[in-house]
Structure 1
Amino acid sequence: MTLSMHRLSVPVFVRGLRVLSNLLDKAEAHCEANGIAPEVLVNARLAPDMLPLSAQVQRVSDTSKNALGRLTGAGAPSFPDTETTFAELKARVERTIAYLETIREIDMQGSETREIKLTVGKLEVNFIGANYLLEFALPNFYFHVTTAYNILRHNGVAIGKRDYLDPSA
């Protein structure tokens, strides 16, 4: 059995976004149950030089939708980074999932060899599609999902490994 670029990307990204959505639900419930202003968690960071939870969610969204846009060659929708509430963050996650679910297997044919050029800071990086997905996009996606999880866990939200591994937890 061969694995297609579609199988390696769309369902993987959608699953991670659903995990993130569930984590946001648990964070919001934690705030309500403990009298914490939601903006405290939305703006929480693991370290002073790291992005806050809101930006982690935005990066998860951007990484997944932009990866598919680059791999299909069709571009991706642009979402402004203006979310300041759990409801807005969850809506962004849902918009991202909705976009990803429009990508069909046929849309990704040949994407494993598509040239992908990125500018990271002042550095231009060149990939072929398969390497871009497996060595850059997926690791970056999971970095930000994991960082969002860690911010919430660090701030007392009752989540564990199952919440990270099971999107229905």
Structure 2
Amino acid sequence: MAVSLHYAVIPTWLQLLGSAHKLLDKAEAHCDSDTAKERELLETRLADDMLPLAYQFKSCWTHSKLALEAARSGSFSPDMSPYPTTFAALRAKLDEAVSACKAIGEQELEDVAENDLVFSIGEKFRLDFAVQDFLLSFSTPNLHFHCATAYDIMRKKGFDLGKRDFLGRMRLKA
């Protein structure tokens, strides 16, 4: 059985985005409307040279919603805008990502799968991909990385999380 690009990418992305949503829910419940506590948690880093929790959630949006936009346009550059600093703004980003994943059709991805896609950072750095390779070898691992890093930061802060919190809703046989 051949697997479509859509099937190889979108269900996994939705699973990870669902996991990210649940992590964000736990973070928000933990802070219980205490904005100082919220700011402190969202600025927590796993290591000094890594970006904070809020950036990790934003990057889940980047490597799903923006990756799908790049699949259509043939161009991807990292989003350098500041990361959101509230749970509400981060939730809105994750909601946008879920909506984008649900909106893209199987045939739409198949139609662009072999198209060229350029990843660039200004004029200094460029990587050339086929759309399918960009989604499978760049965006998917990045989405896993940022979701796992958000999970790890929350574990570091003492949240009661287990592997199932990261795995999210699996696609089980009925």
Q: TM-score, normalised by structure 2?
A: 0.84
Question: In structure 1, what is the equivalent of residue 130 of structure 2?
Answer: 128
Q: Which residue of 2 aligns with 1:83?
A: 84
CA contact (8 A) 1:58 1:81 kept: no
In structure 2, the CA distance between the partners of 1:82 and 1:146, relative to structure 1 (3 Å rule), is closer
Match of 1:113 in 2: 114
Q: C-alpha offsets along residues 102-126 of structure 1, whole Å, 9 cap, x if unaligned?
A: 1111211233211111114722101
- 66 and 33 in structure 1: CA distance in 2 versus 1, 3 angstrom threshold: closer
- Deviating runs (4+, > 6 A) in structure 1? none
State the Cα distance separating 1:42 from its structure 2 match.
0.9
Which residue pairs with 2:58 in the alignment? Answer: 58
1:167 deviates by 3.6
The offset of 1:91, in angstroms, is 1.8
Q: Secondary structure at the match of 1:110?
A: helix
| Maintained 8 Å contact 1:54/1:84 | yes
Counterpart CA distance in 2 for 1:95 and 1:75 is 19
Instruction: Please identify, of 95-104 and 13-22, the stretch whose mean Cα deviation from structure 2 is larger.
Output: 95-104
Structure 2 counterpart SS, 1:109 = helix
Residue 154 of structure 1 is matched in structure 2 by 156
Q: Structure 2 counterpart of 1:124, which letter?
A: R
Q: How far apart in 2 are the matches of 1:81 and 1:27?
A: 20
Q: Can you list the C-alpha shifts for 1:18-61, whole angstroms capped at 9, x where unaligned?
A: 10000111122223399x71111111111122111111111110
- Give, in whole Å, the separation in 1 of the partners of 2:114 and 2:153: 36
TM-score of the superposition, structure 1-length normalised? 0.86
2:24 is matched by which residue type in structure 1?
A: L
| Distance in 1 between residues matched to 2:82 and 2:65, nearest whole Å | 14
Stretches of structure 2 that go unaligned for 5 or more consecutive residues are none
Partner residue, 1:165:
167
1:94 deviates by: 0.9
**Which is further off, 111-120 or 141-150?**
111-120
Matched, 1:73 2:85: no
- 8 Å Cα contact 1:115/1:126 also seen in 2: yes
Q: Is the 8 A contact 1:5 1:111 kept in 2?
A: no
* Other structure's SS at 1:158 match: coil
Aligned residue pair count: 167
Q: Give the secondary-structure state (helix, strand or coil) at the position aligned to 1:119.
A: strand
| Cα offset, 1:146, TM superposition | 0.7
Give, in whole Å, the separation in 2 of the partners of 1:33 and 1:100: 30
Change over 3 Å in CA distance of 1:128–1:75 after alignment to 2: closer
